[in-house]
A and B are shown apart, each in its own frame.
Chain A
Amino acid sequence: MQTKSVRHRGTRELAGYLPLIIFAGVLVYISVNAPNFLTLRNLELILMQSLPVVLVCAGLGVVVMAGGDDVVSGGIDLSIPATAVLSAGIAAVMLTQGWPLAVCGIAAFIACMIVGLLNAALVTRIGMTPLLTTLAMFVAVVGVNNVITSSRRINVDHPFIVALRAQDVLGIPLGIAVVAAVVAVIYFATHKTRWGLHLQAAGGGRDAAEISGLPVRRLLGQSFVLAAFTGFICGFFVLARGSGSSPGVQDNLMLEMVLATFLGAAFSARRVVTMWGAVLGAVLVAAISIGFKSMGVNVFWTGLIKGSLIVVVVAFSALAQRGR
Chain B
Amino acid sequence: MSRQSAFSLEGVTKKFPGVRALDKASLDVRVGEVHGLIGENGAGKSTVIKVLAGVYQPEEGLVKIGGKTLSQVTPDTVHAEGVRFIHQELHLVPHFTVTESVFLGQELSGRLGLDTKAMREDTEAFLHDVLGVDIPSNRLIRDLTTAERKLVQIARALIDDAAKVVVFDEPTAPLASDEIETVMSAIRRLKEQDIAILYVSHYLSEITDICDRVTVFRQGKTVGVFDNITNQSGGDLVYAMVGRDIADMFPAKVDRATSPGLEVVGLGDGVSFEDISLNVEKGEVLGIAGLIGSGREELIDTIYGLRKAQTGTFQLEGEPLTIKSAAQAVSAGIVLVPRDRRHDGLVLSMTVTENATLATLNQNASLGIENRRVARERTEAQIMALDIRPPNPDAVTRLLSGGNQQKVVLARWMAKAARVFIFDDPTVGVDVGAKSEIYQLIDDLATGGACVIVSSSDPVELQGICDRIAIMMRGKIIGELQTRHLSVDELVSAITGAKEIENSTYAD
Is the Cβ of A194 less than 8 Å from the Cβ of B109? Answer: yes
Q: Which residues of B contact A205 (CB under 8 A)?
A: 91-94, 96
Is the Cβ of B113 less than 8 Å from the Cβ of A192? Answer: yes
Query: Of B4-12, B99-107, B210-218, which stretch is located at the interface?
Result: B99-107
**Which residue of B90, B93, B95 has the most chain A CB atoms within 10 A of its CB atom?**
B93
Q: Does A198 contact B (CB under 8 A)?
A: yes
Q: Determine the distance from Cα of A201 to Cα of B91 in the docked complex, in whole angstroms.
A: 11
Interface members, chain B 81-96 (any A CB < 8 Å): 87, 89-96
Is the Cβ of A208 less than 8 Å from the Cβ of B92? Answer: yes
Q: Does B257 contact A (CB under 8 A)?
A: no
Is the Cβ of B104 less than 8 Å from the Cβ of A212? Answer: yes
A208-B91, A208-B93 given; A193·B113 CB < 8 A: yes
- Which chain B residue lies CB-closest to A194? B107
- Which chain A residue lies CB-closest to B156? A212
Q: Does A44 contact B (CB under 8 A)?
A: no
- State the Cβ distance, A186 to closest chain B Cβ, in Å: 15
Q: Which residues of A contact B91 (CB under 8 A)?
A: 205, 207-208, 211-212
A192-B114, A201-B96, A272-B95 given; A213·B89 CB < 8 A: no
- State the Cβ distance, B90 to closest chain A Cβ, in Å: 8
Interface members, chain A 263-281 (any B CB < 8 Å): 270, 272
**B107 interface neighbour in A197, A200, A208, A213, Cβ under 8 Å:** A197
- State the Cβ distance, A212 to closest chain B Cβ, in Å: 4
- State the Cβ distance, A275 to closest chain B Cβ, in Å: 14
Q: Determine the distance from Cα of A205 to Cα of B107 in the docked complex, in whole angstroms.
A: 17
- State the Cβ distance, A34 to closest chain B Cβ, in Å: 39
- Which chain B residue lies CB-closest to A193? B113
A194-B113, A207-B89 given; A212·B94 CB < 8 A: no
- Compute the total of residue contacts between A and B using a CB distance below 8 Å: 53
Is the Cβ of A208 less than 8 Å from the Cβ of B95? Answer: no
Q: Does A135 contact B (CB under 8 A)?
A: no
Q: Does A173 contact B (CB under 8 A)?
A: no
Interface flags for B152-172 (1: CB within 8 Å of A; 0: not) read 000010000000000000000
Q: How many of chain B's residues have a CB under 8 angstroms from any CB in A?
A: 19
Interface flags for A206-219 (1: CB within 8 Å of B; 0: not) read 01110111100000
Q: Determine the distance from Cα of A216 to Cα of B486 in the docked complex, in whole angstroms.
A: 52
Is the Cβ of A204 less than 8 Å from the Cβ of B104? Answer: no
Interface flags for A263-307 (1: CB within 8 Å of B; 0: not) read 000000010100000000000000000000000000000000000
Q: Determine the distance from Cα of A106 to Cα of B181 in the docked complex, in whole angstroms.
A: 62
Q: Determine the distance from Cα of A1 to Cα of B91 in the docked complex, in whole angstroms.
A: 33
Is the Cβ of A208 less than 8 Å from the Cβ of B113? Answer: no
- State the Cβ distance, B448 to closest chain A Cβ, in Å: 40
- State the Cβ distance, A104 to closest chain B Cβ, in Å: 34
Q: Determine the distance from Cα of A272 to Cα of B101 in the docked complex, in whole angstroms.
A: 18
Is the Cβ of B96 less than 8 Å from the Cβ of A200? Answer: yes
Is the Cβ of A197 less than 8 Å from the Cβ of B104? Answer: yes
Q: Determine the distance from Cα of A169 to Cα of B90 in the docked complex, in whole angstroms.
A: 51
Q: Which residues of A contact B101 (CB under 8 A)?
A: 208
- State the Cβ distance, A175 to closest chain B Cβ, in Å: 28
**A197 interface neighbour in B87, B90, B92, B100, Cβ under 8 Å:** B100
- Which chain B residue lies CB-closest to A189? B113
Interface members, chain A 206-254 (any B CB < 8 Å): 207-209, 211-214
Q: Determine the distance from Cα of A192 to Cα of B94 in the docked complex, in whole angstroms.
A: 18
Interface flags for B349-383 (1: CB within 8 Å of A; 0: not) read 00000000000000000000000000000000000
**A211 interface neighbour in B87, B95, B106, B113, Cβ under 8 Å:** B87
Is the Cβ of A193 less than 8 Å from the Cβ of B87? Answer: no
- State the Cβ distance, A135 to closest chain B Cβ, in Å: 24
Q: Determine the distance from Cα of A257 to Cα of B69 in the docked complex, in whole angstroms.
A: 58
Q: Which residues of B contact A197 (CB under 8 A)?
A: 100, 104, 107, 114
Q: Which residues of A contact B92 (CB under 8 A)?
A: 205, 208
Is the Cβ of B93 less than 8 Å from the Cβ of A201? Answer: yes
Interface flags for B57-98 (1: CB within 8 Å of A; 0: not) read 000000000000000000000000000000101111111100
Is the Cβ of B93 less than 8 Å from the Cβ of A194? Answer: no
Q: Which residues of A contact B109 (CB under 8 A)?
A: 194
Is the Cβ of B107 less than 8 Å from the Cβ of A209? Answer: no
Is the Cβ of A204 less than 8 Å from the Cβ of B107? Answer: no
Q: Which residues of A contact B87 (CB under 8 A)?
A: 211
Is the Cβ of A204 less than 8 Å from the Cβ of B95? Answer: yes
Interface flags for A182-205 (1: CB within 8 Å of B; 0: not) read 000000000011100110110011
Q: Which residues of B contact A211 (CB under 8 A)?
A: 87, 91
- State the Cβ distance, B134 to closest chain A Cβ, in Å: 23
**A214 interface neighbour in B94, B96, B105, Cβ under 8 Å:** B105
A193-B114, A194-B114, A197-B114 given; A209·B104 CB < 8 A: yes
Q: Determine the distance from Cα of A307 to Cα of B90 in the docked complex, in whole angstroms.
A: 40
Q: Which residues of A contact B96 (CB under 8 A)?
A: 200-201, 204-205
Q: Which residues of B contact A193 (CB under 8 A)?
A: 113-114
Is the Cβ of B114 less than 8 Å from the Cβ of A204? Answer: no
- Known A-B contacts: A194-B107, A208-B104. Give 20 more (CB < 8 A): A192-B113, A193-B113, A193-B114, A197-B100, A197-B104, A200-B93, A201-B105, A204-B93, A205-B91, A205-B93, A207-B89, A207-B91, A208-B91, A209-B104, A212-B91, A212-B105, A212-B106, A212-B156, A214-B104, A272-B95
29 contacting pairs across A/B (C-beta < 8 A): A192-B113, A193-B113, A194-B107, A194-B113, A194-B114, A197-B100, A197-B114, A198-B104, A198-B105, A201-B93, A201-B96, A201-B104, A204-B94, A204-B96, A205-B91, A205-B93, A205-B94, A205-B96, A207-B91, A208-B91, A208-B93, A208-B101, A211-B91, A212-B91, A212-B104, A212-B105, A212-B156, A213-B105, A214-B105
Closest 3 interchain pairs by CB? A212-B105, A205-B93, A204-B93
